[in-house]
Amino acid sequence: MIQSLANWILSFDILAGMGNPVAWGLSLFVVSALIFVFVALNAIVLVYIERKVSAFMQVRLGPMRVGKFGSLQTVADALKLLQKEDIIPQMADKILFVIGPWVILVASVVTFAAIPFSDTLLAANMNIGLFYVVSISSIVVLGIVMAGWASNNKWSLYGAMRSAAQIISYEIPVGITLIAVVAVVGSLNLQTIVIAQGGTGNLFHWIPIPLPNWFVFHDPFLFLAAFIYLTGATAEINRTPFDIPESESELVAGFMTEFSGLRWALFFLSEYANATLVAFLVSIIFLGGWQSPFSTYGGAQVGFSILTLLAIMWTVFVKIKAKRLSIFPVGLSLVITLCAWLFPGFALWLASPGLFWMLLKVASIIFLLMWFRWTFPRLRVDQLMYVSWKVILPISLINLMGVAVWMWLTGEIQF
Amino acid sequence: MGRLHAEEMVLNMGPQHPSTHGVLRLKLRTDGEIVSHIEPVIGYLHRSFEKHAENLEYQMVTPFTGRCDYLGAMGSEHGYAMAVEKMMGIELPERVEYLRVIFAELQRIASHLVALGTFGLDVGAITPFIYCFRERELILDLFEMASGARLLYNYIWIGGLAHDIPPGFVEKTYEFLDAFDKHVAEYNQILTGNKIFIERAADIGVMTPEIAINYGVTGPSLRASGVNIDIRRTQPYSIYDRFDFDVPLGEGIHGTVGDSWDRYYVRVLEMKESAKIVRQALDQLPVEGDVKSAIPRRIRPPKGEIYFRSENPRGELGYYIVSDGKNVPLRLKMRSPAFSNLSVINEIGQGFMISDVIAILGSLDIVLGEIDR
């Protein structure tokens, strides 16, 4: 994307004089800024959504005052955090205390460089994209340990140590699960992985249920792998039920205890960036990335029909629950579906934008993570380690072997 | 290289800590995550209740009792009123007795709801806490209807009640009770049967009957160890002998008898029993009767002393009152259940992890206002 942006800049007559290196550097800057803006805005939106989701799960309303339906609440909170006094404890290791949060933030933002948002929207098309994402995102643990150690607080230290143990433990099963996918595709390039999931096929190769060619439906082993990966990744990003490093009721706030203001906001930012990253990886690796589930003519029409059905169900639900008739979603989806059946080309056009499907999948996964967080209790440290080393790791090893055997049985690879 | 020098770390938990249920301080000696010794340090909420009582007339002490156990204020007031009434030999109208039982049992439900919710919080489940508070609000609404207050009521007076219940109270209480069973099923769904919750609570902090009795543990925590002692049943006071209710005991469904899960579950069951008692009391509630008719003009208990105990949400609440015939008690001692219940934590919490200590503390359901008095 950087080179194409540079080429685009150079295509203007006035700008052509700057030469390729300058244009390239400018594009690099623009793309990096775009990624950072995406991460920051994403965090602001996600915090708002998380508060709303948790509120609806807890029979509350959530933020309602700032902006329409409280939509500007997180903006207000962010501004408040920026204004707060920057406190560095007297006995803290000042250098580590200052750079710790930045290490975490940089590690979690930089990973987005390799994420394909759609077929063209991709900052760096690396041939080792998956490896890059996994390895860079594990630098986060370094920042956490820095922050926890530098705080000179026993709670922070506990949080940091727990975090280090947890992230390192879960990296192994997660990595092995990802290797299973790499074995199927034969490439570490994330874009290649997405492209390999295009089209429609049978469930588990033989069962005659037409489903998109996503890896989660590729074979039973990858189906299981998707869940293993989601579990392991939830643990890696320290979210409930694995939020042990910052477990509020035990360690006050874990490694974040001594941080305030902007530095604390950085932790928050990177936390949501990491959650988004995991959601992106799950969608890319198992759910077909930016591939539309309805990518053929018939599929698009079926898809819109399903949408209409859902809209009708929603209307009935609203009618029963809230005693009011909301005709708009049904009307809109009916019109779209009618158009889809009448003009198949239109349907395909409407159903194809990759960015939309990508973000929809990501949003679903993030909602799932939020759902976990607001319903589950927290595991204990030793239980967490038990799950990682004695349950998930053996399963993922067997899984890797199973995938290989499956590939051999279905003839996708020959020895 | 020589041996790596390692020593135990002293960790101060509290008095400012999210999970110490107030201003409790726990001095933990930890070896990594394992806790080898727990020393509760109390007194951060000491308000000299007993010394105050020596300078206040009997009727003036009532509001202070509620401030001790602020989650079970009705129970504390009830116990105190009964103690003084017994000294003075006051006969109460039937209606007062029934209303008192209704309020005490509603208070028990409200208190247990807080216990369940905060225990959930302690093990990391946030949503059940809000559900529990939703029902507690309904009970507080009922209390507000009757007494005008939502936390500290000063409603049960020596010899009667501050006011009679307002019209509509009985219907609203029935309404609450009808919906309550469904809500208990909700808690069971979201928390009680949750695999992670069971893993966190079962076999943690096992309190054998011997330990429980030796430390003077009472209330749901004692019954969770399988000891069938409920003062409402063993020494029925007020009119508890007229009601049909069970005393739930810990059965160790998911672990050992007397573990944290049992202590939690006994409270769930007790809420159901309390709801049963309230329903019976409402059914039998006499329509006639002046709630203030038995309130004495002058409260001067005869010379002597009394120890009166009642079953508070947290356990045996005892009042030891010495009277010299004046209108001010010569000495008033409160035997607070949470104090004894907390003292057991070193015995049952040793060798567990920091997270478990918090779970155990949550399952004991302490109220610091009552421990420090």
Range in A182-191, A245-254, B5-14, B242-251 the model is least confident about: A245-254
Euclidean distance between CA atoms A216 and B368, whole angstroms: 52
Mutation choice for B interface testing from A163, A376, A387 by most B CBs within 10 A: A376
Please state, in angstroms and as integers, the Cα–Cα distance from residue A211 to each residue in A159, A198, A216, A349, following that order: 43, 11, 10, 20
Please state, in angstroms and as integers, the Cα–Cα distance from residue A186 to each residue in A8, A135, A181, A193, A395, following that order: 33, 19, 8, 9, 22
- How many other C-beta atoms are found inside a 10 Å radius of the C-beta of residue A32? 16
| pLDDT for A7 beyond 70 | yes
Which chain B positions have a beta carbon within 8 Å of A376's beta carbon?
A: 124-125, 194, 196
Handedness of CA B295, B299, B304, B307 (dihedral sign): positive
Amino acid at A216: V
Residue of B nearest to A241 (CA): B124
Euclidean distance between CA atoms A291 and A303, whole angstroms: 14
Cβ <8 Å between A241 and B124: yes
User: What pLDDT, on a 0 to 100 scale, did the predictor assign at position B160?
Assistant: 85
Mutation choice for A interface testing from B126, B135, B136, B360 by most A CBs within 10 A: B126
Given a contact cutoff of 8 angstroms between Cβ atoms, the answer to whether A159 and A254 are in contact is yes
Nearest in space to A48 (alpha carbons), one of A293, A370, A288, A295:
A370
Cβ <8 Å between B196 and A378: yes
| pLDDT for B1 beyond 60 | no
Euclidean distance between CA atoms A139 and A110, whole angstroms: 11
Euclidean distance between CA atoms A158 and A194, whole angstroms: 40
| pLDDT for B329 beyond 80 | yes
Give the distance from residue A379's alpha carbon to the nearest chain B alpha carbon, in angstroms.
Answer: 6
- How many other C-beta atoms are found inside a 10 Å radius of the C-beta of residue B189? 11
Considering only CB atoms, B123 lies closest to which of A252, A378, A382, namely: A378
What are the structure tokens assigned to B52, written together? Answer: 């105050």
Mean per-residue pLDDT, B151-177: 88
pLDDT digits (tens, 9 = 90+) for A338-355: 776 677 666 666 656 777
CATH superfamily ID and name for B47-344+357-372: Cytochrome-c3 Hydrogenase, chain B (1.10.645.10)
Cβ <8 Å between A249 and B120: no
Cβ <8 Å between B355 and A241: no
Per-residue confidence band for A37, with pLDDT thresholds at 50, 70 and 90: confident
Euclidean distance between CA atoms B291 and B81, whole angstroms: 14
Which chain B positions have a beta carbon within 8 Å of A239's beta carbon?
A: none
Cβ <8 Å between B131 and A248: no
Is the pTM higher than 0.95? The answer reads no
Q: Is B90 left (phi over 0), alpha (psi -120 to 50) or beta?
A: beta
Considering only CB atoms, A377 lies closest to which of B194, B353, B356, namely: B194
Residue of B nearest to A162 (CA): B33
- Please list the alpha-helical segments (H only) found in A59-139: 73-83, 94-110, 129-137
Given a contact cutoff of 8 angstroms between Cβ atoms, the answer to whether A244 and A162 are in contact is yes
Please state, in angstroms and as integers, the Cα–Cα distance from residue A284 to each residue in A168, A186, A215, A280, B149, following that order: 23, 15, 9, 6, 57
What are the structure tokens assigned to A288, written together? Answer: 């077909």
- Please list the alpha-helical segments (H only) found in A218-260: 220-236, 248-251
Per-residue confidence band for B36, with pLDDT thresholds at 50, 70 and 90: confident
What are the structure tokens assigned to A236, written together? Answer: 């890696």
Considering only CB atoms, B127 lies closest to which of A58, A252, A379, namely: A58
Question: What DSSP line would sit under A326-352, residue for residue?
Answer: --HHHHHHHHHHHHHHH-HHHHHHHH-
pLDDT digits (tens, 9 = 90+) for B332-373: 998 888 888 888 988 888 888 888 888 888 888 888 888 888
Which chain A positions have a beta carbon within 8 Å of B358's beta carbon?
A: 249-250
- Please list the alpha-helical segments (H only) found in B286-365: 337-343, 345-349, 354-364
Euclidean distance between CA atoms B295 and B161, whole angstroms: 8
**Which comes out higher in pLDDT, residue B29 or A210?**
B29
What residues contact residue A392 under an 8 Å CB cut-off, 6+ apart?
A170, A173, A228, A231, A232
Given a contact cutoff of 8 angstroms between Cβ atoms, the answer to whether B282 and B173 are in contact is yes
DSSP three-state, residue A64: coil
Considering only CB atoms, B124 lies closest to which of A57, A247, A252, namely: A247
Which chain B positions have a beta carbon within 8 Å of A59's beta carbon?
A: 130-131, 134
DSSP three-state, residue B184: helix
Continuous segment of H or E residues that includes residue A38: helix A19-57
| pLDDT for B32 beyond 80 | no
Cβ <8 Å between B355 and A247: yes
Handedness of CA A226, A227, A232, A234 (dihedral sign): positive
Q: What are the φ/ψ torsions at residue A155 (nearest 5 degrees)?
A: -65, -45
pLDDT digits (tens, 9 = 90+) for A108-130: 888 888 888 877 777 777 888 88
Which chain A positions have a beta carbon within 8 Å of B18's beta carbon?
A: 248-249, 252
Binning chain B into helix, strand and coil, the percentages to the nearest 5 are: 50, 15, 40
| pLDDT for A213 beyond 70 | yes
Mean per-residue pLDDT, A81-86: 84
8-state DSSP, B353? B
For chain A, percent of residues with pLDDT exceeding 70 = 88
Which chain B positions have a beta carbon within 8 Å of A152's beta carbon?
A: none
Global ipTM: 0.78
Handedness of CA B291, B294, B299, B300 (dihedral sign): negative
Per-residue confidence band for B2, with pLDDT thresholds at 50, 70 and 90: low
pLDDT digits (tens, 9 = 90+) for B234-264: 888 888 888 888 888 888 788 888 888 889 9
- Environment class of A60 (CB within 10 Å of its CB; exposed 0-12, middle 13-18, buried 19+): middle
What are the structure tokens assigned to A239, written together? Answer: 């979210």
Cβ <8 Å between B355 and A250: yes
Chain B residues within 8 angstroms (CB to CB) of chain A = 9, 11-12, 17-19, 33, 120-127, 130-131, 134, 190-191, 194, 196-197, 199-200, 353-356, 358
Cβ <8 Å between B358 and A249: yes
Mutation choice for B interface testing from A240, A249, A257, A378 by most B CBs within 10 A: A249
Range in A243-257, A337-351, B69-83, B232-246 the model is least confident about: A337-351
Binning chain A into helix, strand and coil, the percentages to the nearest 5 are: 75, 0, 25
Chain A residues within 8 angstroms (CB to CB) of chain B = 54, 57-60, 154, 158, 240-241, 243-244, 247-252, 374-383
Given a contact cutoff of 8 angstroms between Cβ atoms, the answer to whether B277 and B101 are in contact is yes
Nearest in space to B163 (alpha carbons), one of B223, B85, B122, B103:
B103
